[in-house]
Structure 1
Amino acid sequence: MVRTLAVLALLLSVSTTAPAAVPFWGAKTSSPADLPPSQLKPGQWIWGGRDTSLAPMAVIVSLTEQRAYAYRNGILIGVTTVSTGKKGHETPTGVFTILQKDKDHHSKTYDNAPMPYQQRLTWDGVALHAGGLPGYPESHGCVHMPTEFARLLFEATNMGMTVVVAKEGTAPVTVVHPTAVIPIDTRNGADLTIAPLADGQMFRWQPELSTAGPLSMVLSVPDSVVIVLRNGVEIGRSRVQVKDPLVGTHAYIVAQGGTAESPKLAGLPMPNWITIGIPGHGDEAGRVVDQALVDRVTVPREFVEKLVPMLSPGSVLLATDESLEPSTTGPKVQVIDSNPPGV
């Protein structure tokens, strides 16, 4: 009887012992979409990827910047600070695919350490997951992300999605320092070398490069260019002129039903647009874009005539006051090592 009571007491103590609390790393909410990635502090992130379409996704991890960039259908939907492998446990560079997803993963190697929202890149232990973010590389090879960003990314991705890990000296500057337009092929991670428009060339139109899939566009005010992507592949770009541009980043989506006729493009029916409430501009959500705003953008008519028939409800336009051209200019970046700054 004593032994039986002892066993029951042990079972009761085991069943009522609460599991160890899983830490929550990083900021709980997104920073504004207008915040340059270089100004994100450790643990901060931006996420505007509310689109639930089946458009292809890809992630670029810049070891040099200690940031990760998420793209859907060729345009940037999220960026976050990360912490990658420390000295002796460096995160490998290269092209990977998501091999496994486990929302509540625990490490079999490191004392059952929690690795929430794990997305495995290699079978020997390298993965994307929520983890510590001290502002420098401190992991054992994995890519640590803020918990909430890791959750959002986990819910948005599919098995087999491409992940490229790059660093200075081993990859093109366009991949190490990504912009709002994806610099890789989502299908295989290959570097994309899309040429700018030649002098005197008003636009380029190559729909045969991607014959099906969702459409998205990025308009860069400082570059005076709009880029059209279908299924994550650039199929066209055109010079544009923007009068009195809005400051910051803004997103628009083609609405269901109805067309409008632009006075500047007489006889050409245009779709109606609605503003998307991205982080920092949530108050703009659902606003119908008036004709006055549309007419502030001048695009070659021949280009518009090719583009408009392809637009359908759900087509997205991202307008930004940031350049899309690759650049390493700006504030100097601290040389990153395995020790905290100042140690």
Structure 2
Amino acid sequence: MMITSRRGAMLWLGGGIALSAGAAHAMQALNPATIEESVANLKPGQFLWAPDIAPDGPVMVLVSLALQRAYVYRNGVLIGVSTVSTGKKGHETPTGVFTVLQKAKVHHSNLYNNAAMPYMQRLTWDGIAMHAGSLPGYPASHGCIRLPPAFARQLYGVTALGLTVVITENGAVPRVAPTPAMLEAGTGTPPDADADGVRWTPEKSPTGPISIIISASDRRLVVLRNGKEIGRTPVTIAGEVAGTSAYTLRAIEGTTYHWLQLPLPGQTVAPNTELLPEERERLRLPEDFRAQLAGILAPGATVVLTGDSLRSGGAGKKLTVIKSEDEG
């Protein structure tokens, strides 16, 4: 299996995430140079949403109080970022790890004048929830996490009871989660990898959707199944990777894998654009690893190819890492 990027792909998740303001869903192309700029340039009420990058798998939400942003991951891949408004002074939003206890499309507050809380997702039984609401550009709620109405509706559609929500004061947010080993600093070999840095442990997550992350900066490929890392390997990529692009596996015919570039909003990619053989040949990985990966691939698998490092942010800062409960 070999992947490459098409010329003209924009930065960070292809740069083609839908930028929406309120219910109008005003679509724009984003052209900032880094992830940090993409997030920082969002105005109150705006958000980024690209669910096709990872169409299946477990969802996790991370809320940064410092940045007033919510980040949504599916199968370990970032699929959305939104502006939020959290608790004001005296009604601060609590930090910690929460789960969605209750969901309701139509809900009203029992504590604050019967205030409307559309697309409510309850995090605590004493009044903390995520829901659609007003976003003035600063913390203004009574502790809840207010979301743009259109984003709240989109998020509601991909979540389920028991969803993990992490609320943190930290301003540094991982690009891919929850796979801490993927973001480890330095050049050391992971404990269960061989001398060449290759690791293949499919038993860690025997079933579920496959997502593949390729970092041109790190020259590394990481395989996630059902949101957990099951493999990694060094790779070589001929030529430059100017930005980030996403692909889905349409079909397998014998030894031929048909990878289609996802036509994300904001990108000039024609539907059903398939990678050409010369493009696929730009990526090379160890033959043993390629064969093992080919054995578990099925239509619907996705690939995110990025020029960014998985180890550090655009400014060279080490990313905050979030660990899954079973990772200790």
Within 5 A, what are the aligned runs for 1:46-195?
Answer: 46-50=48-52, 54-168=56-170, 176-183=171-178, 192-194=180-182, 195=184
Task: Report the secondary structure of 1:115's partner residue.
Answer: coil
Q: Identify if the C-alpha distance between structure 1 residues 148 and 44 changes in structure 2 by more than 3 Å, giving closer, same or farther.
A: same
Instruction: Check whether the contact 2:84–2:146 (CA below 8 A) recurs between aligned residues.
Output: yes
- Per the TM alignment, residue 235 of structure 1 is displaced from its structure 2 partner at its CA by 0.9
1:11 corresponds to which residue?
Answer: none
Of structures 1 and 2, the one scoring higher in RCO (CA 8 A, sep 6+) is: 2
Name the TM-score, length of structure 2 as normaliser: 0.79
How much does 1:313 deviate?
Answer: 0.3
- In the alignment, what sits opposite 1:279? 265
Q: Secondary structure at the match of 1:129?
A: strand
- 2:198 — aligned with what? 203
Gaps of 5+ in 2: 1-20, 33-37, 190-194, 318-328
User: What is the aligned partner in structure 2 of residue 319 from structure 1?
Assistant: 305
Q: Tell me by how many angstroms 1:193 deviates.
A: 4.8
- Residue 105 of structure 1: SS of its match in structure 2? coil
Q: Is the 8 A contact 2:261 2:269 kept in 1?
A: no
How has the CA–CA distance of structure 1 residues 274 and 149 changed in structure 2, closer, same or farther, with 3 Å as cutoff? same
Q: How far apart in 2 are the matches of 1:177 and 1:233?
A: 21
C-alpha change, 1:29 and 1:248, in structure 2 (3 Å) is farther
In the TM superposition, 1:27-46 aligns within 5 A as: 28-29=25-26, 32=29, 35=32, 36-46=38-48
TM superposition shift of 1:208: 1.8
| Correspondences of 1:175-324 after superposition (within 5 Å) | 176-183=171-178, 192-194=180-182, 195=184, 198=188, 201-259=196-254, 269-281=255-267, 283-324=269-310
1:224-279 CA distance string (max 9 Å, x none): 211110110011112222223443221111113424xxxxxxxxx24211111123
> For residues 2-33 of structure 1, what are the alpha-carbon distances to aligned partners after superposition, in whole Å with 9 as ceiling and x for unaligned?
xxxxxxxxxxxxxxxxxxxxxx9477246547
| Unpaired segments ≥5 residues, structure 1 | 1-23, 169-175, 185-191, 260-268, 332-343
CA deviations 1:70-126 (Å, max 9, x no partner) are 111111111111111111111111111111111122222222222211111111111
Cα distance, 1:135 vs structure 2: 1.9
How many equivalent residue pairs? 285
Q: What SS is found at the alignment partner of 1:108? A: coil
Q: CA deviation at 1:283?
A: 3.0
- Under a length normalisation based on structure 1, what TM-score does the superposition of the two structures give? 0.76
Alignment check: 8 A CA contact 2:178 2:228 kept: no
Does the C-alpha gap of structure 1 residues 236 and 27 become closer, same or farther in structure 2, counting only changes over 3 Å? farther
Distance 1:86 1:25, change over 3 A: farther
Deviations 1:265-308 (A, max 9, x none): xxxx2421111112322634321111111111122222211111
For residues 297 and 54 of structure 1, the distance between their equivalents in structure 2, rounded to whole angstroms, comes to 25
Q: Distance in 1 between matches of 2:301 and 2:284?
A: 19
| Alpha carbons 1:116, 1:129 under 8 Å: kept | yes
CA distance in 2, matches of 1:285, 1:247: 22
Provide, for residues 28-47 of structure 1, a one-character-per-residue CA deviation record: whole Å limited to 9, x for no partner.
Answer: 24654765323322222111
Does the C-alpha gap of structure 1 residues 47 and 182 become closer, same or farther in structure 2, counting only changes over 3 Å?
Answer: same
The offset of 1:180, in angstroms, is 2.9
3-state DSSP of counterpart to 1:281: coil
Question: For residue 338 of structure 1, what is the aligned residue in structure 2?
Answer: none
Aligned 8 A contact 1:33 1:46 in 2: no
What is the root-mean-square deviation in Å for CA atoms of aligned residues? 2.5
- CA distance in structure 2 between the aligned counterparts of 1:236 and 1:283, rounded to whole angstroms: 30
